[in-house]
Chains A and B, each alone.
Chain A
Amino acid sequence: MDTRPDPDELLKHIQAEEPSRGKLKIFLGYAAGVGKTYAMLEAAHQRKKQGVNVVVGYVETHGRVETEAFVSGLEVLPHRHVEYQGVRLTELDVDAVLQRRPALVLVDEFAHTNAPGSRHSKRYLDIEEILDAGIDVYTTLNIQHLESLNDVVAQVTGVVVRETVPDRVLDDASEIEVIDLPPDELLTRLKEGKVYIPEQARRAIQKFFRKGNLTALRELSLRRAAERVDDQMRAYMRTRAIPGPWPAGERLLVCISTSPFSEKLVRTTRRLADELNAEWFAVYVDVASKPELNLANREQLGKTLQLAEELGARTRTLTGRTIPEAILAYARKHNVTKIVIGKPVRPRWREMLAGSVVDQLIYASGDIDVYVISSRLEEKQPAIPDEWRPHRPLGRYALGIGLVAIATLLGMSIRGNLEPANLVMLYLASTVIAAIFLGRGPSLLVSILGVLAFDFFLIPPYMTLAVSDTQYLVTFAGLFIVSLVVSTLTARVREQAEASIQREAHTSVLYTLGRDLTSATDLRHVAEIIISHISQVFGRQVAIFLRENGHLQVFASTPDYQPDTNELGVAVWAFEHDQPAGLGTDTLPAAPLRCQPLKTARGLIGVLGVRPRESGRLLITPEQRQIFDSFAHQAALAIERASLAEQARQAELLQATEKLQSSLLNSISHDLRTPLVSITGALSSLRERSLMLDQEARDSLLETAYEEAERLNRLVGNLLNMTRIEAGAIHLKKGPCDIQDVIGAALEQLGERLAERQIIVNLPPEMNLINLDMALFEQALVNLLDNAVKYSPPDRPIDINVSQVQNTFRIEICDRGIGIPAEDLEHVFDKFYRVQRPESVSGTGLGLAICKGIVEAHGGKVQAENRIGGGTIIRIIIPKEITE
């Protein structure tokens, strides 16, 4: 035997000792009145004396003076009040506890069911939330509220307890303190009126408080507590690798049917598993040939499977030809050592006919033990039979009768010519036809009527029912049996075919979803596909919630559905706690929608919300739930993929932008440095080597340095202007301007660059003043003229034409240069755009862009055109404003 510590145990131990989750201490009693609440309060006071921050979350004093006295010494948090059907109910206020953040909170009645509209349906879920927040809790519990003991308690006391808590909660509690009181003393207390009993329950409680009951309950609770101690001891021993009486690694499997009896089976198996310290599975076999379950059965099955899960089983739905086959295959595969199955409830004769599942299982089980559990008489409710469909359209029976009539007529027409034995074939044929096309019922009818008609019409003496020859009884029996067999076979084949069509439909739905999702590229598209598929398949309204800016928000939904803030709240809860919430779950079951967290390997990415169209119960059969889970998983993956693709795109874009920016910076830095090269070179030559240079050389160097300095100055000016335009920091100071004035100022600024160039200015005779920012506009004109000078030969004139056309002013700068290639005409005004020229022309390509920026700031536009006869026209168009 391996004596190394079991790593799982170690982990559990470590987790149990982790300070992050709060510790739960349960004060366990076997009946009301043993003193649990009192003990809890006593313990709380002790802790308080030790300096622990203790508050009272919810404690029922029932008006008892001693209890109230104890409570008064502690801080009490306000309760939450809920109005329900006109009654004011008080409940524990979870949010108040979470906000207050005490070290320890007291919450009475662990198994209490919360009023509708509360966040959780049960108080123990509230307490779980508090524990998750790292706050310790003391609570009280009666043994009869334990799920696994529910049926035993009912058996013992005759009272079925409705409020139960799953056993795992008890197992996960840090401490259990059993509050014990001899039954005699309890009864004395009851007589003295010291035990609280609600008025309505008085009569039932009398039945409950019988000595025999109390003793049995007491034993149950003590035994349960002892089991737990045993578990803890064994866990302890295992973590320290102390060899001990280890269990032999048992594994249990319980077979569930649609009968309510299965619930008892599940609880029994849980107790067995506890005793044997074994893992256990709960399995339902979906036989292929059986028809679809009806609603009631599906619900019962769902309930039973859920119960099994809660009690700690691993549940599976298996498919197979027969139940024993499927179960044994699974059992062997998973090394199951014991199978638990219920005693048959069907009448013996049916068992003999159809074969007993239990028998087959026992025979074929080999070395696996089979426990056959009996049901209690009161619970003997066989599953609602669904092999016999109760509603057959009457039309089919009518058709059946019709077939018989046809066969009879045919037979009568040829009855003289054929032996009766052959005439029977007509009826045989009609029985087979009825079996194939009309179903079992009509075909049986056809067989009966057929025989009668056969006897009546076709057997001498005709028109009588006297059977002259008893051999025809054999015929009759034969017909009947044939009809039965054929119709049963046909029915089964048809149902099998339907079942596999149904299954195929489910698979193909998943396949279609997967296929459609692979083709979707962006997130919104993916969401739409998911929503449309789910709403089609499940017939519900769908919403997808994703996290944006740190908050969960509605990302997409079916067109007629807009989740409100309450529904969003449910989704947020599901997201934060990574658990399904809403309709059909334990948390916020009153919500109109069911929220499923969308999870991938990378974590939670969002929530899928599903809402039935008509507000009613959300039907989730086990298959539907599986499919829904698959959908949710696919959806999660697809959404993650789409958002990762988006991120990748952004990263690419960022990279491209950075590349562009760095190349621009390189270009600018080059352009800025180049004039400096000449300046530094010229000046350094003059400085260091002036004696070796003659006057001409010196003059030339100085000239160079000066020109380059001017060029650098212009470049810097351009860059600054461009930056200002880009930043939107252009503030126009508009005023009435004489365009001739502006042109003149621009020409003056160009100064030497114009040299001997001829400039022809054409103005209309009557020119209004234009509202312009004079300094900026002058700058724009300077840039245009500079371009014209650079790109045309010095002996060709430059024309400046000003005109008024309709309600605009036009200024055209025209040169006789080499023009601009047609494809570049649009782009010349782009930043840093330089047309490819054979001769390299200096300049950063900003001049036109700046001009465009200035003109557009004035509300105008610029155009470039090639000139007839060669050259370029740059046109500025400014809308006329009323300037007078």
Chain B
Amino acid sequence: MTRNGLRALIVDDEVAIRRFLRVALDGEGFVVLEASTGKDALMALVKERPNLVLLDLGLPDIDGVEVTRRLREWSQVPVLILSVREQEADKIAALDAGADDYLTKPFGVGELLARIRTILRRQASGVAEPVFILGGLKVDLANRLVTMDDREVQLTPTEYDLLRALVTPAGKVITNHQLLHQVWGEGYNDLHILRVNISNLRHKIEPDPSRPTYIHTESGVGYRLSFRTGM
């Protein structure tokens, strides 16, 4: 799928990484813009109005989380965070500040393009899909009907809400707290109930709950709904 005319802004202070990202995005038909500092990124956002931002968290001048916060004040552009492993707190902060998803370095080009696809997909269609299909899972949001391989699955209201909260981002990650707030309300911070319900949900829709294919755990951050086995 080519992205004719779509503009992508790469923000990273490492030349080699920018080079690699440029090649990858060029190949997909993006018009690639580069910035190496937070300030430059914010300026480019205003001037160039890109359609996609790839943002490194570890920038020299302004923190990546801060950049996200600032650009979210006036822009809804999809933002993909590039982070180092073990920076869970930063990832959560960036996601809470409005980033759409993240990638842990080092990553392969396949993963990169998959994530880009996911976050652009939502953009493309302006209206929410009433029916969500992923592998054998089919969620009919209008009718509150869930089926796995065409068999109906009985969910409690909470479990359904949880599933809907996972489905709505359409493949992007959602943090634990975002899930808690969406399903149980603001001010609800206890993870117990989340874990228990995720477990119940998995038992109902996953062929092998111990090796999930739909509901994937991002340890320490949250969960992601996508269809993949293993990787």
Which residues of A pack against B, CB within 8 Å? 706, 709, 713, 717, 720, 733, 735-738, 740-745, 747-748, 751-752, 754, 759, 761, 763, 769, 773-775, 778, 883-884
Contact = CB atoms under 8 A, between A and B. Distances in A.
A794 to B, nearest CB: 15
B231 interface: yes
Given A752-B230, A778-B219, A740 B191 contact: no
Contacts of B219: 742, 745, 774-775, 778
A417 B158 CA distance: 142
A884 B192 CA distance: 8
B199 interface: yes
B4 interface: no
B198 A741 contact: yes
Contacts of A740: 199, 202, 209-210
A422 B118 CA distance: 142
Given A747-B211, A769-B195, A774-B220, 10 more contacts: A735-B191, A738-B196, A743-B210, A744-B211, A745-B218, A748-B216, A748-B231, A761-B210, A761-B211, A775-B88
A737 B198 CA distance: 11
A651 B88 CA distance: 44
A775 B220 contact: yes
**Pairs A-B, 10 closest by C-beta atoms:** A775-B220, A761-B210, A745-B217, A775-B219, A751-B231, A738-B195, A778-B219, A774-B219, A736-B192, A751-B230
B196 A747 contact: no
Nearest to B193: A736
Interface residues of B, number: 24
Given A761-B210, A769-B195, A741 B106 contact: no
Nearest to A763: B210
Contacts of A883: 192
Nearest to A709: B106
B224 to A, nearest CB: 11
A492 to B, nearest CB: 95
Contacts of A741: 195, 198-199, 217
Contacts of B192: 736, 769, 883-884
Nearest to A753: B230
Contacts, number: 68
Interface string B87-123: 0100000000000000000101000000000000000
Contact of A747 (B86, B88, B195, B210): B210
Contacts of B191: 735-736
29 contacts: A706-B108, A709-B106, A720-B86, A733-B220, A735-B191, A736-B192, A736-B195, A738-B198, A738-B199, A740-B202, A741-B198, A742-B217, A743-B210, A744-B211, A744-B212, A745-B217, A747-B210, A748-B216, A748-B217, A751-B231, A754-B230, A769-B192, A769-B195, A773-B220, A774-B219, A775-B88, A775-B220, A883-B192, A884-B192
B210 A717 contact: no
B85 interface: yes
A706 B111 CA distance: 14
A735 B219 CA distance: 11
A759 B198 CA distance: 22
A769 B231 contact: no
Contacts of B195: 736-738, 741, 769
Interface string B220-231: 100000000011
At the interface, is chain A mostly helix, strand, loop or mixed? helix
Contact of A748 (B108, B202, B230): B230
Contacts of A778: 219
Contacts of A713: 106
Nearest to B217: A745
Contacts of B106: 709, 713
Contacts of B209: 740, 744
A743 B212 CA distance: 10
Contacts of A736: 190-192, 195
A742 B192 CA distance: 14
A751 B210 CA distance: 14
A767 to B, nearest CB: 9
Nearest to B108: A706
Nearest to B228: A748
B96 to A, nearest CB: 16
B196 A717 contact: no
A763 B106 CA distance: 34
Nearest to B194: A736
Given A738-B195, A769-B192, A769-B195, A744 B230 contact: no
Given A736-B192, A737-B195, A738-B198, A744 B217 contact: yes
A743 B198 CA distance: 14
Contacts of A754: 230
Interface in B39-68: none
A748 B220 CA distance: 15
A506 B86 CA distance: 74
Nearest to B199: A738
Nearest to B212: A744
Nearest to A747: B211
A257 B199 CA distance: 106
A299 to B, nearest CB: 82
B109 to A, nearest CB: 11
A713 B190 CA distance: 34
Contacts of B196: 738, 769
B211 to A, nearest CB: 6
Contacts of B202: 740
Given A737-B195, A738-B198, A752 B217 contact: no
A743 to B, nearest CB: 6
A226 B198 CA distance: 112
A736 B192 CA distance: 6
Contacts of A774: 219-220
B229 to A, nearest CB: 9
